[in-house]
Structure formats: C-alpha cells, structure tokens
Amino acid sequence: MKPIVVLTSTRTVQREDVDIKHYPFIDIVPIKFDQSCLKSHYDWLIFTSVNAIKLFEPYMHLVNAKHVAAIGSETKKMANKLNIPIDLVPETYTQEGLLSEIKSNLQQHSILIPCSKKARNKLSNQLESWGNDVHKLAIYEPRTNLENVQKVHQLIKNKEVTHVTFSSPSAVSGYFEIFGNITEVCVYAIGNITQEKLNTYHQSSQLARVATLDDMINTILKEEV
C-alpha cells in the first residue's frame, strides 16, 4: 500500500510512489512596500524563499544588484525559471548556511533582502553586525488557511493518512496553535528550523535529509522499507 502523505506547503510535487494530499496551511499575501529602496545600488540581493523571488521578480528591473544569492534548491530553480542569474547558493539551505559561506567575504556591503513579514532576523542581524548596510524588505505576509488546517486535522483523527509533513515554521504554528500533538500518524519536517519549531510544541518528528519536498518523500519511503 502506498503511503498517504499530506503536504502542507504552498508548493506540491507529482509522485507515482505515494498518494499525495495537498492542503497548504499558509496563504501567501503580497503586501505594499516602499519602492524607493529599489532605486539604490546593492552589492548583494538575497532571496531566502521561493515566495520571495516569485513576488519580487516584477521589480527586478528596478534594482541594480552586483550579486544575487538564493537559499535552497527550489529557490534556485525558480530563479532559473524567471531568468534571474544566481551567483551563490549555500550548500546548507538555511540562513545559517549562507552566513557560514560568506562570513569572510561580506563586510561593508549594501544588501537587500526581500522576504516574508515574519522572516527570521538571524540573517539580517548577523550581516549588520559585520558592518554591512542591510535593508530587510517585507514583501508578503503568511496567513494561516484555517479551512485546510481543520481538514487535515480531521484526516489525522480519522487515520485517513499515514504521514503529515511541515515545510515552514509558519505552517507548524498554523496547526499547533489550534490543535494538540499529532500521535496518530508520522510527522516529517523539511529543514532544521521547521523541526526546531515542532520541538517548541513538543511534537516528535523525522527530518528530511535534504530540505526539499522530493527528499522528504524519499525519506518517508526509506523509513517504510
């Protein structure tokens, strides 16, 4: 029998070896921002998510950026799709991974980071502490899709699925601020940051070896053997 896997991310994947049920827990809502900052020259433009690069693409012609970095293979794929050249993708798909790779080369630079309104401050704060001029620009806000959260909760309670996956801290909060721990099915996380958020709710989980949807499903299949 195929595993029945719930994907709660905004994106999904097509697979023949699992039965995927896609219920995004987060709606991505664009927000207005001051576009005057786009007229400046930047040494670095940093994208931390697929959503950030998709929503910022219409403004790329307004930005004069010497280098562009992207966190995550999916973000890089979206950049390729949108014809946005990328100079750096950290081996570890986190803010910490990017900081580790650039710490010796990024000082006294101007940096623009288009991101979520709820994005972590780790990247911007650390870059500022190294003497860089950092502009963290909120261009969208994640909002919980309560209808999907409730649907998945019912699927879990009825044991109609075998695995539930989380790919962002926002998705984790969207569920666990309403419902308690999941004990009926297996829980999987994409990325250490997402798993750390699950830990704050005392929810046990398994971690995908690489922070992508496909690898999370591959991890699930290996655990099933």
The encoded tokens of residue 111 equal 């940096």
pLDDT at 57: 97
Question: What's the rounded mean pLDDT across residues 64-79?
Answer: 93
Using alpha carbons, select from 86, 89, 110 the residue that is nearest to residue 98.
Answer: 89
Walk me through the domains of the chain, giving residue ranges and CATH numbers.
4-27+144-224 (3.40.50.10090), 34-141 (3.40.50.10090)
**Does residue 104 surpass a pLDDT of 80?**
no
Determine the pLDDT at residue 207: 87
The radius of gyration of the chain's CA atoms, rounded to the nearest angstrom, is 18
Instruction: Average the pLDDT over each of 138-152, 181-195, 199-213 and give the range with the smallest value.
Output: 199-213
User: pLDDT tier at 225 (50, 70, 90 boundaries)?
Assistant: low
What is the pLDDT at residue 16?
84
Task: Name the residue with higher pLDDT: 201 or 223.
Answer: 201
Let me know: does 100 contact 92? Beta carbons within 8 Å: yes
Top-ranked range on mean pLDDT: pick from 37-46, 148-157, 209-218: 148-157
Give the global pTM. Answer: 0.83
Res 178: pLDDT: 96
Residue 108 has pLDDT above 80, yes or no: yes
Find out whether 50 and 11 touch, Cβ atoms under 8 Å: yes
Percentage of the chain beyond pLDDT 90 is 69
The pLDDT tens digits of the residues spanning 118-138 come to: 888 999 999 999 999 999 999
Closest CA to 45 of 104, 117, 132, 145: 132
The pLDDT value recorded for residue 4 is 93
Residue 212 confidence (pLDDT) = 77
CB 47 within 8 A of CB 53: yes
Residue 224 has pLDDT above 80, yes or no: no
